[in-house]
Structure 1
Amino acid sequence: MGQARRQQQSQAPLVGSPGALSVAAEEGESVEWLNMCLRKAWRVYQRGLERWIIDLLQPVFDGLVKDGSVPRFVQRLRVVELTLDHEAPCFSNMKRRHSRKDSDLHGVVDLRYAGGVRMLLMLEVGEGRWRLKVPVLVSELDLECSLWVKVPVLVSELDLECSLWVKVRLAPMCPWMGTLSLAFVSPPNVKVQLSPYNRLRLMRVPLLQNFLRKLLTVDLPGVMVLPERLEINIPPSVTSVAEAAVGRDTIMRAVASAVLQADAVEQALLTALPLGPQTPAGGISLPEFFC
């Protein structure tokens, strides 16, 4: 018994050996540092993220309606409002993937989000032209019209659990990142809660509720499952483009010239206008004859 235990200990890789490093790489890395940075950035850029997600989702919804992935009676699905809470997604078990290009960084990370995101959708329902015949005394009225119904739907209690593939392509200009690619390694596990908005009872129709649930939990995540991916192009800053075009020295001289011109304009205004001396707080006081 003791001999078998010693044999197993001798076969186990040491902490500093390459075998131990390979085993640790296969198990993944706990990225608590990334979660800490994300929690801080999430609160700072929360409003910008809400606008960015709306701009990202609306073309996807329009494409699904145009391709016929929704029932015929659905004419449009519009994102009216989206709000995020202060709880950020949580990453864990990050694994690196090798790339042939030096400028590419690949990785797979487990993602879990169960925050309080709320999204208000406006579902426009209607199917072609509806004919309505109404008998009026001797004559008969033949009326042809289009019938449209707008159904507001509140989506809440999003629960997302997935394995996310991330690729970052580095760039030689600030912000030093050219492209960010995101995709699901496999279909994610998504759960949402659908509820009528403003006491509307049309959400109790089984056909409407089942269609929306399938759209949000199956069809929408399916457009990001590998090999499909989401490509986010990050443009370089204006100063970086200008420096690459004319040089950093030229940009610095232009900035210095603009500062000197602003000082000259300020001095000319002080000379032409009857203003008093500048206060320590930065304001300008009126002369005594104005008091």
Structure 2
Amino acid sequence: MRQVEAFHGVFAQALAAAGNAYTQAEAAAAGALAGNLAGPTGGGAMPLSATAAATPPFVFPANYVTAFISGSGIPVPSADYMKTVFGSYVVPNFPGGNLANALGLWTPAGLYPLTGATVLTLDESVAQGVSILHDTLVGTGVGQHGLIQPGGTPVVVQGISQGAIIASLEMQKLAAMPIPPTASELGFVLLGDPMNPNGGLFERFAGLTLPSLGQTFYGATPSNTVRPTHIYTLEYDGIADWPRYPINILSDINAFAGLYYVHGLYPFLDPSALPLGTTWFSCRPLRAIPAIPPTR
């Protein structure tokens, strides 16, 4: 009985720590996403590896619009960020695009209390972000002109961190439409996805709620969508690559370190060697162990 109680106590502590970890990591990563793209410091990384879906790639229409959604604390993606991520992640997966067609979406990007005492909570911010993205893609109300209409413009949505959450929840919303966008009308590129189906923090603890922070763990990004979706994850990123067994204290410590040292590095990756698929996930292994300073 004592062993069971001890197990429960450790697991509960891991859950509580995971909830607070996301809030802290988003604030720590904001500097890198705000346009400071000079390059990372510390240990290098090994070549990319990936597991590709069995579905063969198809040709996405050229001259699409890329809609960028940034992370917490950054309502509008910077021009440097869009240029870097477009060249590294978007064009290799969706050839024929043009940076001139980039669209940096404004979203609240709130993460109370880390991004301010009077800003929106994560749940409030994400809800508004999903509404903004949905209207941008398929809005038909008064004054709305969704990009994806009959004869309209194909769109690739690129989201990072909180932006990836917004994109993931929009996938769920689109799936409920009578006639959702097709694979030739809409695609996704997600970086540092907290809802990563293969280890995202919000997937590991799906259903957890933190009312005091206004934070819900939404579960996994849809993995069975027909629309081409590419999800990139850095190994040891405590937001997108949380340990499978949270009672492994050493793994938890390393994941917490990765929140600060890994989660903001996505703009510096070179994923060009990875294969294509309809929905696929890639994980880049790191030589450095975040919890061991000499290896960083």
Q: TM over 0.5: same fold?
A: no
* Greater Rg over alpha carbons, structure: 1
Normalising to structure 2: TM-score of the pair?
0.27
Structure 1 or 2: larger strand share?
1
